[in-house]
Amino acid sequence: METLEVLTYFLRILGSETKMQMVIYGIGSIESYDCPRLQLSFAILIKRKFDWIGDIEVFDPVLSTTETNALEALGCTVLKVNEQGRRQAVKPTMFFMPHCEAVLYDNLLQANWRPENLNQMVLFGNSFEKYEQYVSEFKNSVIVDSARFVLGVRRFSVEVGVDVVSDDFFRAFHDSSWHFFKLDPQKELELETLKIINCSTKEM
């Protein structure tokens, strides 16, 4: 994350604001599995490293009372309501969503399907490029149905992949990327791209 390219994207999103909120969806059980613990550790380290990262909010329906207490002890706020990933980015927001289901990314993008929202958010999660490659190679209509906005936003996004330098971290971060969006705020974001994707998939 410390590369000049990535930091430049973050600072563009931050603009004149002093803080960027972090929202963590679908982290999993940090008590039971190594991958969620590594992913959460990465999120906490980001906040400690960069003073412009603001409050951290977390939600996963599997979180136990013990896990909730641990997260709160780390300074996080555990959400009580399942937003289904539909939080609108009305201010600079990092959505930290490693290895979530495609439909959760799609819900987030659909809720923010306007330039002024997309331009204020950064998403850490599965590679959207990989989704596109999978659909192209396997012609999987199930993926298309659950990731219409993921596929549709590709033309407006910049994806920066994460290099996993150790086997110890592979399962937690493989095929993960930072996603940044840059759209003309004066233009309405049409859904024609989604229709094209559906049509082309049917022709395959």
Contact between 23 and 95 (Cβ < 8 Å): yes
Q: Side chain identity at 57, as an amino acid letter?
A: E
Neighbour tally for 200: CB within 10 Å: 13
Contact between 47 and 23 (Cβ < 8 Å): no
pLDDT of residue 82: 97
Distance (Å, whole) CA 123 – CA 55: 16
Confidence of residue 141 (pLDDT cuts 50, 70, 90): low
Q: Side chain identity at 33, as an amino acid letter?
A: Y
pLDDT of residue 202: 47
Distances (CA, A) of 3 to 6, 7, 43, 163: 6, 6, 17, 12
Q: Is the pLDDT of residue 203 over 60?
A: no
DSSP class of 163? P
SS3 string of 57-112? EEECCCCCHHHHHHHHHCCCEECCCCCCCCCCCCCCEEEEECCCCHHHHHHHHHHC
- The proportion of the chain whose per-residue pLDDT surpasses 90, expressed as a percent, equals 74
**What is the SS3 assignment for 187?**
coil
Confidence of residue 185 (pLDDT cuts 50, 70, 90): confident
- For residue range 63-77, what is the model confidence (pLDDT) as tens digits? 999 999 999 999 999
> What domains can be seen in the chain, in order of their start residue?
1-199 (3.40.50)
pTM here is 0.89
CA neighbor of 192 nearest in space, from 158, 159, 157, 156: 156
- For residue range 102-111, what is the model confidence (pLDDT) as tens digits? 999 999 999 9
